[in-house]
Amino acid sequence: MNAENRPILEVKGLKTHFHTKRGVSRAVDGIDFTLRKGETLGIVGESGCGKSMTSLSILRLIPSPPGKIAGGQILFKGKDLVSLSEDEMRKIRGNEISMIFQEPMTSLNPVIPVGEQIAEALRLHQKMSKKEARDKAVEMLKLVGIPSPEKRAKQEPFQLSGGMRQRVMIAMALACTPEVLIADEPTTALDVTIQAQILELIKDLQTKLGMGVIMITHDLGVVAETCDTVAVMYAGNIVEHAPTNKIFSDPRHPYTQGLIASLPKIHEDQDELKTIEGSVPSPYNMPLGCRFASRCPFKQPICHERQPELAAQPDGVKVRCWMYTSQWTEFQQQEAVK
Amino acid sequence: MQAQAEKKLLLQVENLKQYFPVKSDSLFKPKSYVKAVDDVSFHLFEGETLSIVGESGCGKSTTGRAILRLDEPTDGKVYYSGQNILDLNKKEMRKLRGDLQVIFQDPFASLNPRQTVKQILNEAMAIQEVVPKPKRMERMLELLGYVGLPPEALDRYPHEFSGGQRQRIGIARALAVNPKLIICDEAVSALDVSIQAQILNLLKKLQNQFQLTFLFISHDLSVVRHISDRVMVMYLGKVVEIAEKKALFDSPLHPYTKALLSSIPVPDPELKRERVILKGDVPSPINPPSGCRFHTRCPFATEKCNNEEPALRKLGENHFVSCHYADELAK
């Protein structure tokens, strides 16, 4: 990560809400982050924390209705994606910003040969001729490490294995050399030995092509191995954003600490795992104060009353917690007096 | 977990085979089979946790289902307290199922959505006739206490619970009939890490409390490391290695086990390790490779591996491996 690397994607105060019969679900509720060229940003969190909704919002793929981007900006090279028309958005999607989904079988067309599916994107975005696009598709399949790519290009998705389908997805996502690649749980459906291959491939291609990558995952192992910085999400908010080594060596937010402590360790034996008591608040009924407060071991009355800001620490780690504010000792003293 | 001397054999599996026929293209072609489990033998001591690990399609779940006779095995023997349970008739088997319980991956699919927790637990106890009717209410409350659910849960339906809580209901149901062996088939795989930790702790606690034996089937090696006493690694329907947990994780002998262990992403960015990345995919179990089934992906494969199937042999105490070159590679 070089200092001169300019940001290519800036998300500011993004809010994605779903209007349903049960009320308004605040799936993503005011998040900010910046992605630089060549950087890999990890977004981690447990189910329902809003990590996938964030990525779908960036590509404007939120099903609407009921979903709606309720506020904020998504600046891609200075352009606000939120205010673009559908036509303009289509030119960016799959061309300058691409996405890899978790389950390749549901995102590939089952009745079209995979080579043709890759070629389609090239003809649409790069205005290639049929022949050029076909050749480029085979070249892409080769790049992602599919053996005998000419033969495979003519096959349909069901004839490929899970790992190979995921490679096809990656080939398709990268065909137009995007500047931002969003990988939403790209290896969750794969076996570990195949996962290792795919992660290696993504890393490798990133260095070759210099893309910014957003890696969305629930697997902290994947984060540790691939990401430069990590944003931890909880109940629609980013609660901590820090360089990867800091997240693991010195987690600040009580949720991050709990998350890391609850992982079973592969290199040591433990008698009992640490757990986080309680469960995530309902997105329809978010608490007024800090969203983690009900499960937090350090909570003070202030935590239930007001939500803390995501604030930068002196060393650049951003954390959303009252404990790291200048008022914290005051709160504690007030409590002690009472 | 217990003293070496007093280990009692609970379950012994001998040459278990589970073949599933595949539709052939033509009437006259020989029928082909998916050899999901192909000649697997192992044993299980009372009170221990044996894990079966492997990638999808290696036959780990099929092994668990075959032991419970949820699928009727093609061949082999499964001895439970001295008798071959594959010889039992339906009635005898049903009786035995009280001893052998199972917890599945997706509690939502394995709990009846139209039954309240009370009905679910009641049914289990009624079938096995473990608790007389007047005492059942008391027993149900006791069970909920064991798995950490409030008494109010009794009158609620599965959909009203979160994933972790549903898994607790599944555990309570398994416990209801006083089992000896519980097969946990990917029991924590669908849960978020913080919830997964709660359930793993619960399983360990219950194991101590009731002297349960676990056959723990999982693809997640960190979880396996946490919960097991011994670990068995499978690849394409075969056992490739069985060892005590520590030996398997610290000094794996089979090249596949080594590759498997080194492919797991470790949540520690400081850790630098040598990585064995396997080439290619798992071959189809319909026509598995000749000789050693792993030879198509093995970095050390020779002509011998192509022709000759390695037997599971003993290398070190309680450490069994099926590789022609395991002793040389260990050096």
Cα(A84)–Cα(A1) distance, integer angstroms = 30
CATH numbers and ranges of domains, chain A: 7-96+177-277 (3.40.50.300), 106-175 (no CATH)
SS3 content of chain A, % helix, strand, coil (to 5): 40, 25, 40
Q: What is the pLDDT of residues B149-167, one digit of tens each?
A: 999 899 999 988 888 889 9
Contacts of A140 (CB under 8 A, 6+ apart): A118, A171, A172, A174, A175
Which of the four pLDDT bands, split at 50, 70 and 90, describes residue A1? Answer: very low
Cβ atoms of A58 and A182 closer than 8 Å: yes
Q: Nearest to residue A40, comparing CAs of A163, A185, A216?
A: A216
In A, which residues are within 8 Å of B197 by CB distance? 262-264, 273-276
Cα(B224)–Cα(B218) distance, integer angstroms = 7
Q: What is the pLDDT of residues A140-195, one digit of tens each?
A: 898 888 888 899 999 998 888 878 888 898 889 888 889 999 999 888 877 888 88
Closest Cα in chain A, distance from residue B260 (Å) = 6
Note whether B219 contacts A192, CB cutoff 8 Å.
yes
User: How high is the pLDDT of residue A335?
Assistant: 75
For chain B, list the strands marked E by DSSP. Answer: 9-22, 32-45, 49-53, 75-80, 83-84, 100-103, 181-185, 213-217, 230-235, 238-244, 313-314, 320-321
Joined tokens for residue A224: 């540790």
Residue A251: pLDDT over 50: yes
Mean pLDDT computed over every residue of chain A: 88
Cα(B52)–Cα(B180) distance, integer angstroms = 18
Residues B325, B315, B39, A190, CA torsion sign: negative
The torsion defined by the Cα of A60, A63, A66 and A68, in degrees rounded to 10, comes to 0
Cβ atoms of A212 and A38 closer than 8 Å: yes
Cβ atoms of B319 and B243 closer than 8 Å: yes
DSSP string, A120-181: HHHHHHH---HHHHHHHHHHHHHHTT-SSHHHHHTS-GGGS-HHHHHHHHHHHHHTT--SEE
Q: Under an 8 Å CB criterion, which residues of A touch B?
A: 46-47, 161, 163-164, 191-197, 199-200, 218-225, 244-245, 248-249, 258-260, 262-267, 269-276, 279
Cα(B32)–Cα(B27) distance, integer angstroms = 12
Q: Nearest to residue B212, comparing CAs of B170, B179, B245, B174?
A: B179
Note whether B221 contacts A195, CB cutoff 8 Å.
no
Note whether B263 contacts A192, CB cutoff 8 Å.
yes
- Smallest Cβ–Cβ distance between B267 and the set A46, A194, A260 belongs to A260
User: How high is the pLDDT of residue B331?
Assistant: 67
Element (H, E) at A230: strand A229-234
List the single residue in B with minimal CA-CA distance to A218: B192
B194 touching A (Cβ < 8 Å): yes
Choose from B193, B195, B297 for mutation: most chain A CBs within 10 A: B193
Closest Cα in chain A, distance from residue B194 (Å) = 6
Cα(B95)–Cα(B81) distance, integer angstroms = 14
Q: What is the pLDDT of residues A298-308, one digit of tens each?
A: 988 888 988 99
Cβ atoms of A296 and A289 closer than 8 Å: no
Cβ atoms of B267 and A221 closer than 8 Å: yes
List the single residue in B with minimal CA-CA distance to A199: B265
- Smallest Cβ–Cβ distance between A273 and the set B200, B266, B267 belongs to B200
Q: What is the pLDDT of residues B5-54, one digit of tens each?
A: 568 899 999 999 999 888 766 767 777 888 899 999 999 999 999 999 99
Strands A40-44 and A212-217 come out as parallel
Cα(B104)–Cα(A65) distance, integer angstroms = 36
User: Stretch B129-141: mean pLDDT, rounded?
Assistant: 90
Q: Residue B252 — φ and ψ, nearest 5°?
A: -65, 145
CATH numbers and ranges of domains, chain B: 9-24+33-99+179-330 (3.40.50.300), 113-177 (no CATH)
Q: Nearest to residue B297, comparing CAs of B260, B268, B245?
A: B260
Residue A278: pLDDT over 50: yes
Instruction: Give the CA angle between residues A169, A175, A181 to the nearest 5°.
Output: 65
User: How high is the pLDDT of residue B6?
Assistant: 67
- Smallest Cβ–Cβ distance between B194 and the set A192, A224, A259 belongs to A259
Mean pLDDT computed over every residue of chain B: 88
Which of the four pLDDT bands, split at 50, 70 and 90, describes residue A43? Answer: very high
Cβ atoms of B223 and B245 closer than 8 Å: no
Residue B174: pLDDT over 60: yes
**What ipTM goes with this model?**
0.77
List the single residue in B with minimal CA-CA distance to A278: B195
User: How high is the pLDDT of residue B229?
Assistant: 94
User: Stretch B85-111: mean pLDDT, rounded?
Assistant: 88
Q: Residue B34 — φ and ψ, nearest 5°?
A: -85, 115
Note whether B269 contacts A244, CB cutoff 8 Å.
yes
Q: What is the pLDDT of residues A187-223, one digit of tens each?
A: 887 788 888 888 888 888 888 888 999 999 988 989 9
